[in-house]
Structure 1
């Protein structure tokens, strides 16, 4: 469909990949969302990208109360509009401010967690399942860290031997944007990490490395230190033990992180302390772990 607005959309999608470094799939999705906006509102000119047009589009997505799309999907469309509006304003076009395109509030729900009995079953499994002692000690140490610190899988895979302080009491975690936060290291986590490191004979700096047969063969052939675990490897590890513990295949590292966060809140820690421990960018994320009554009172 020809029109000034469509030309601007095409230029924006091009800039997404060339200037913003977004992948082709993101550009394809944004094209769909913005084309829907044009179709639903009948706009053809940039000057018609107004708050009124955005609200008409929001109603179209909801089908006037008969929900067509889930809230996250509606927000994907509105986020694309925000980005497009920001692009136009940067180019000097007089359109509405992106911040005025508000997202729909997400339905409130408590994050899933694992009860104490399930955590205990999970921690016992590395030595109940058949495997090499080195791998069993590594897996127990990983599970202890996930279940007591709430570290993200990406953060765990980046841990190094020197991430642990000299006295073994704290752990330095490198988060997104190379931000570092320090968290307490519990006695059990410290014990199993020490046991694991005493069994290792390699000089790799990573705290956790691969010990599967393929990694050992490749290491011997190249005479190199073993590679560190990837986030996906940690996810598979947790899923394996969760299934064996009868917790179901949906228990993943993020569920253990939710469990730690909820336990910290229930133990009486203030929200700012929990936010810092977990590395949340916003206190609003931490508030998700408040019990429903306290959350309502806080709001």
Structure 2
């Protein structure tokens, strides 16, 4: 289905996206996803009503219209998770238009999101995370590359960074202090504490790196001196999985999950972990409580006499 949208609705969509980008500080990828979701919905309306429509058509939407769109999306193979995201975007857009055009968006807002099983984070065991960091240096052909890879993984696990955040550091960060200012998703900043072992790993790498680590240049470099690619880190962990016999879930992002889960296991509170991870919503961080509960149930079922 061609996504042909009348000019009036397309203009409204552009204005809405510009506003949520500016006010909400959303990442470009998130804004692009919202644009695609709402554009798909508006295109459906054009085909559904069989005529050119304008913003006034949004005021005539019924719950039946919403259900027809959702059924259409599922029929073309959209997952429940993706449809839930699309519905959230549509509700936001229609609600924004309702405030400006003075109509009641209740029928749209009443549409219920499809249920789906949220994917739980898959952290590594504490000893596995440690073995990852200890093993990565043995796979490198050059000493400075070994120190680089150790520093990257130590940052992911020791500070709970996303791989994009670790690789966005510059030469100005080569001499780390007790804290590190990180700009995460949507441009949101957070302060994370830096353990001595993390500072030492980064310092060792910086001292051995053969390239000029200017303050405005990438801190982590590939073998040819360009910015280190996330794919290089991912391939390194793939090799380590084979060596250590770890599952496919042992990815760079799993080191961040491990950071959060191990903090929770050690008694860390959710609010603090939320701040350290840079989650906008506490509900995102709460996924780690499910991980911890699942782990406790596994221990219970394997150890309790009545469970065997």
Same topology, TM > 0.5: yes
Structure 1 distance, partners of 2:165, 2:213, is 21
Which deviates more from structure 2 when the two are superposed, residues 95-104 or residues 147-156? 95-104
Q: Which residue is equivalent to 2:179?
A: 170
Higher helix share: 2
| 153 and 124 in structure 1: CA distance in 2 versus 1, 3 angstrom threshold | same
CA contact (8 A) 1:47 1:94 kept: no
Residue of 190, 211, 231 corresponding to 2:199: 190
Q: How does 1:20-59 map to 2 (within 5 A)?
A: 30-37=38-45, 49=58, 53-54=62-63, 56-58=65-67
CA distance in 1, matches of 2:291, 2:146: 39
Q: Which residue does the alignment assign to 2:219?
A: 208
CA distance in 1, matches of 2:192, 2:34: 35
Unaligned ranges ≥5, structure 1: 216-225
1:146 aligns to 2:156 (yes or no): yes
CA contact (8 A) 1:126 1:139 kept: yes
Change beyond 3 A, Cα 1:31–1:127: closer
Structure 1 CA distance for aligned equivalents of residues 289 and 60 of structure 2: 34
Contact 1:83 1:98 in 2 (8 A): no
Number of the residue aligned with 2:24? none
Deviation at 1:259, TM superposition (A): 1.6
Aligned equivalent of 1:100, options 75, 93, 109: 109
> How far apart are 1:96 and its partner, in Å?
1.4
Secondary structure at the counterpart of residue 128 of structure 1: helix
The residue aligned with 2:266 is 267
* Matched positions, count: 278
What CA distance in whole angstroms lies between the structure 1 residues aligned with 2:284 and 2:128?
25
Q: CA 1:143/1:14 → structure 2, altered by over 3 Å: closer, same or farther?
A: closer
CA distance in 1, matches of 2:156, 2:242: 17
> Counterpart in 1 of 2:136?
126
- CA distance 1:283–1:28, shift in 2 (3 Å): closer
SS in 2 for 1:209: coil
User: In 2, are the aligned partners of 1:17 and 1:27 still within 8 Å (CA)?
Assistant: yes
- CA-based RMSD of the aligned residues comes to 4.3
Residue 219 of structure 1 is matched in structure 2 by none
Q: Deviations over 1:193-239 (max 9, x none)?
A: 22212213524335633241xx2xxxxxxxxxx43324454444444
> Residue 203 and residue 31 in structure 1: after superposition, are their counterparts in 2 closer, same or farther (change >3 A)?
closer
Q: Select 1:89's aligned residue among 88, 95, 98.
A: 98
Structure 2, unaligned runs of 5 or more? 22-27, 295-308
What are the Cα deviations for residues 30-64 of structure 1, in whole angstroms up to 9, with x where unaligned? 4333333566688967556469724652376359x
TM-score by length of 2: 0.69
In 2, the alpha carbon distance for the partners of 1:29 and 1:177 equals 19
